[in-house]
Amino acid sequence: MTRVTRNPVQCCVVGIGQSEYTRWGGIQDRSQFQVTAEAILAALADAGLSPADVDGLASFSNDANEPNLMQVALGIPELRLAAMVWGGAGGGTCGGISMACSAIQTGQADVVVAYRGLCQGQGRRFGRHGQGRVNGNFVDPFGALAPPQMLAMIVQRFMHLYPITHEHLAEVALNARANANRNPNAVMHARRLTREDYFAARWIAEPLRLYDCCLETDGAAAVVITSLERARDLRAPPVAILSSAHGSGPGWGGGALTSHNMPDEDYASTNGRRVARQVFGQAGLTPGDIDVAQIYDHFSGMVLMTLEDYGFCGKGESGDFVASGKLRWPDGGMPINTAGGQLSEAYVHGMNLVVEGVRQMRGSSTSQVPGAATCLVTGGSGVAPTSAMILGRL
């Protein structure tokens, strides 16, 4: 099917790379920095490029793998862009890529690598209580000490307002695990999950059970971005970045991770409706034009909200949407998280979702959607800022 975009394609993903993915604390023989550098080098090799071709590095959410040090470690001659999206945890997944595209389009960089590396078993663990979180005084006294507790309140409100059930949450988790079982790189590749297993699991923070919560993993992933003109001469088939955006709605502040002071009409949401309008508008597409999606799945209930906020179904209709099997590969109308997502492949703050989106456009996923020409990727939800992008097959 021919896709018509409002704006001509200017930037492409030309290389993808990742380390091995292990359970939390599984990588001990190299530092987090080394693992991240390996993912970057793998992405460059995939593109047929070397560090000498790179002049930009981008990441998000207080990434500890600092670009100036990465420049020296990799032997990058000149660094013209060193960009990072502030805060928002995984909300910046696609934001770093958006900044890379802006730099390339304005001539401030030619080849940018966007990356994320997490080996939390070696040191700081994201979300752990007492690590200097801003505005913790608004949530800590009430026992909301970690992201599952903080986001559980949004999901609980969502399930109170609309006909969303635990069966609907289970569908998201079971879909992710089924896809991971086909992906040999997934942490949960060899571990099946049944509906009985899901409902027998312990509560983490109601309404979230164990399998509603993302994995804790060690690993890194990276993508190489350049202009369409240069992309055509490289080794890997280029994947078009049809649109990308990041930002936040009014009054969100730190969202669920801090004050819970977002406007009432936005509380049971992802904070993504405005970003959704941007990415669809830039690409000249509608939700009906999306063939496959990689939706940030830190918690299953947030996936349901994302489906609604991005227009795949109406408000309160996501339960029926997933119950119909539309998320399932290969027969669903819009399969999601085809490598297993963060619930079952790995938790790399969503960069693994970007890598899988590129694989879908290349036709190389372990759960390939036949003929897929567009892929939506979303950043972390229920946080601020958040982000999204749409990839397309050229």
Does residue 326 carry a pLDDT above 90? Answer: yes
Cα separations in angstroms, 285 against 374, 379, 380: 10, 19, 22
Amino acid letter, residue 232 = R
Q: Which two tokens stand for residue 121?
A: 């078993």
Tell me what the pLDDT averaged over the chain comes to.
93
Q: Is 347 a catalytic residue?
A: yes
Mean pLDDT, residues 17-39 taken together: 96
Strands 386-393 vs 208-209: parallel, antiparallel or unpaired: unpaired
pTM above 0.85, yes or no: yes
Question: Using CB atoms within 10 A of its CB, is residue 286 exposed (0-12), middle (13-18) or buried (19+)?
Answer: exposed
Q: What is the pLDDT of residue 288?
A: 97
**Domain spans, the chain:** 11-126+212-393
Class of domain 11-126+212-393: alpha beta
Q: What is the pLDDT of residues 361-382, one digit of tens each?
A: 999 999 999 999 999 999 999 9
Maximum CA extent, the chain: 57
Strands 292-294 vs 374-378: parallel, antiparallel or unpaired: parallel
**Annotated active-site residue in 21, 198, 267, 296:** 296
Does residue 210 carry a pLDDT above 70? Answer: yes
Amino acid letter, residue 264 = D
d(CA 229, CA 223): 18
Q: Which 8-state DSSP code applies to residue 376?
A: E
Lowest mean pLDDT among 116-130, 169-183, 260-274: 116-130
* Non-local CB neighbours of 90 within 8 Å, separated by 6+ positions: 60, 61, 296, 298, 349, 350, 379, 380, 383
Q: What is the share, in percent, of the chain residues with pLDDT greater than 90?
A: 85
